[in-house]
Structure 1
Amino acid sequence: MTADTQEITERAAAITQRVLGLDYTALWEYNERTGELQLATTVTSRKIDDETIRYPDGFSEQVWQTFISDDVEICTDLSPIPENLMSESPVRSNVLIPLSRKGVIYAGSMDPETFDETTVDLARTLAATLETALERAEGEQQLAQQNRDLAYLDQLYSLMWKIDQKLVQAGTVESIDRAVCEQLADSDLFEFAWIGEFDAIRNTITPRQWAGIDSSYLDDRTITIDANATNQDPVADAVSTQDSQIVADVATDKRLAAFRETILARGARSCISVPLIFEDTLYGVLTVFAAQLQPHERNQRVLDELGRTIAHAINAAQKEETVRTDNVVELTIQFQEPGTVLARLARNADVKFQFKGIVPDGNDSSHVFFTGSRTSADEIHAAGRNLAAITRITRVAENDETCMFRATVSGSTLASQLATQKGAMRTLTFDRNAAIAIVDLPSTADVRPFVDELQRTYSSVKIMSHRSRDRLPESVQDVQMAIREPLTERQADVLKLAYLSGFFESPRESTGQEIADLLDVSAPTFTQHLRAAERKVFALAFDEE
Structure 2
Amino acid sequence: MSLDAEDYRRVRQAARTHREELVVRLCGEAGLRPAEQARVRPGDAFEHGGGHLLAVFDTDRTDETRETALPADVARDLRQYAASNGIDDDEALFPVSGRRLSMLLGEVIDRTTGVDASATDLRRHFAAQLLEDGVSPETVVELGGWERLDSLAPVLPDPDRDDLIDAVAGAEASGSASQAGDPAGLTNGLLDASVDLAGELGDGDRQEAVAATACERLAGVTGVRFAWLAERVGDAFTLQAIAGVAERTVRRHLDDHGDAVDAAVADGEIRQVDGGNGPVVIVPVPTDDSAGVLALGTTVESDGRTTDTLTALAGQVGHALTAVERKRLLLADAVVELDFRCPASASVVADLSAALDCRVELSGVVPVDDGLLLYYLDVEGAGAEAVMDRAEAADGVDDVRVLAEYGDGATVEVVVTDTPAMALLDAGGRVHSLVATGGTATLTGELAGDADVRAAVDAVTAVHPDVALLAKRRTDHPAETAAGFRERLADRLSDRQATVLRAAYHAGYFEWPRDSTAEELADSVGVSSPTLHNHLRNAEGKLLTAFFDDLPSGEADR
Provide TM-score, normalisation by structure 1. 0.37
- Rg comparison, structure with higher value: 1
- Higher RCO, 1 vs 2 (CA within 8 Å, ≥6 residues apart): 2
Provide TM-score, normalisation by structure 2. 0.36
